[in-house]
Amino acid sequence: MSRILITSALPYINGIKHLGNLAGSMLPADVFARFKRAQGHEVLYICATDEHGTPAELAAAAAGQDVRTYCDEQHEIQKRAGEAFGLSYDWFGRSSNEPNRRLTQHFAKVLEEKGLIEERVDRMIYSVDDARFLPDRYVEGTCPHCGHVGARGDQCDNCGRLLDPTDLIDPYSSVSGSKNLEVRDTRHLYLLQTKVEQPIRDWIGTRADWQTLARSIAYKHLDEGLIDRGITRDLKWGVPVVGPDGGPRPGLEGKVFYVWFDAPIEYIGATEEWAEATGRTWRDWWRTDEGADDVRYVQFMGKDNVAFHT
């Protein structure tokens, strides 16, 4: 009998989950976990709430709460919902907990040491009235492609085009509604995906156990060409960017990592939470040099998550 590690896509903290979330990743993962346990396999089924990013800050502000209090409440609501549906998680963690913070900062440090992260200067929207830079979803305006009013700074929900906040016509702050906006320089960290495009392609070629759809989606992104991706944001809520000494990083004070950088790492962070709570070790589930050679890892997610997970 083998050991099987199962994860389902992390439900976002903002909003009560609906049947689509349940049917899309949570229920299939639960069925698979129960089936493999019944066969006698050692199964570890991990999930967590995905708590960082712009929507969490906006939802907390709309609820009149600080973001930590909002996430505390929403995590408990989602945890109880999973229990009410009878989902057999071994652990339901939180991306805002300490293990994920430490691991995210560790991943960033090692990636930078390997020459895969660099600082760049971006031109971003700054709200004079809010006294802050506005990440993509904090800016709304008119879509330059279809004329839809209320398009977000990252995407127009009407025509589906991906956008940059500086593309919007008549932009305004979604925090305050202010149109007193400027474009200013701000420093951010970039993950140099262009440097690893071929190694990723070669690695996918070795994954005989991947489903055809997942493989084709991954190859589609590679065929279109990877881009270097900004992995930090001007937000107050998230995993802080730190320097080598663990303190604020000069030039990037007050910035946090992009939610899509830390969220996949939370699968490991939540496993560490489980290990701390049960007196077990997480390393022999994740590290082949520490006993994870016999672990089969199965992920359940929606197809739009394939790019980030790959």
Give per-residue pLDDT as tens, 2-35.
Answer: 899 999 999 999 877 777 778 889 999 999 999 9
Per residue in 190-248, pLDDT (tens digit) is 999 999 999 999 999 999 889 999 999 999 999 999 999 999 998 889 999 998 888 88
Per residue in 249-298, pLDDT (tens digit) is 999 998 999 999 999 999 999 999 999 999 999 999 999 999 999 999 99
Q: Considering the chain, what percentage of its residues have pLDDT values greater than 70?
A: 100
Sheet containing strand 117-127, edge to edge, reads 132-133, 117-127, 181-191, 229-230
Question: Looking at the domain 3-97+259-309, which fold is it?
Answer: Rossmann fold (3.40.50)
- Indicate where the chain has its CATH 2.170.220.10 domain(s): 124-185
pLDDT band at 93 (very low <50, low <70, confident <90, very high): very high
pLDDT at 138: 87
CATH architecture of 124-185: Beta Complex (2.170)
pLDDT band at 121 (very low <50, low <70, confident <90, very high): very high
Bridge partners (DSSP) of residue 232 are: 257
Residue 302 or residue 295, greater confidence: 295
Average the pLDDT over each of 18-27, 66-75, 295-304 and give the range with the smallest value.
18-27
Residue 101 or residue 247, greater confidence: 101
Mean pLDDT, residues 74-96 taken together: 95
Is residue 229 within 8 A of residue 193, CB to CB? The reply is yes
Is residue 304 within 8 A of residue 11, CB to CB? The reply is no
What is the full DSSP assignment across 119-163?
EEEEEEEEETTTTEE--GGGEEEE-TTT--EEEESSB-TTT--B-
Within 12-166, strands assigned E span: 42-49, 91-94, 117-127, 132-133, 139-142, 149-152
pLDDT at 202: 97
CA distance 297 to 6: 6
Q: What is the overall mean pLDDT for the chain?
A: 93
- Indicate where the chain has its CATH 3.40.50.620 domain(s): 3-97+259-309
Mean pLDDT, residues 69-87 taken together: 94
pLDDT at 24: 85
pLDDT at 220: 94
Is residue 277 within 8 A of residue 1, CB to CB? The reply is no
Mean pLDDT, residues 136-165 taken together: 91
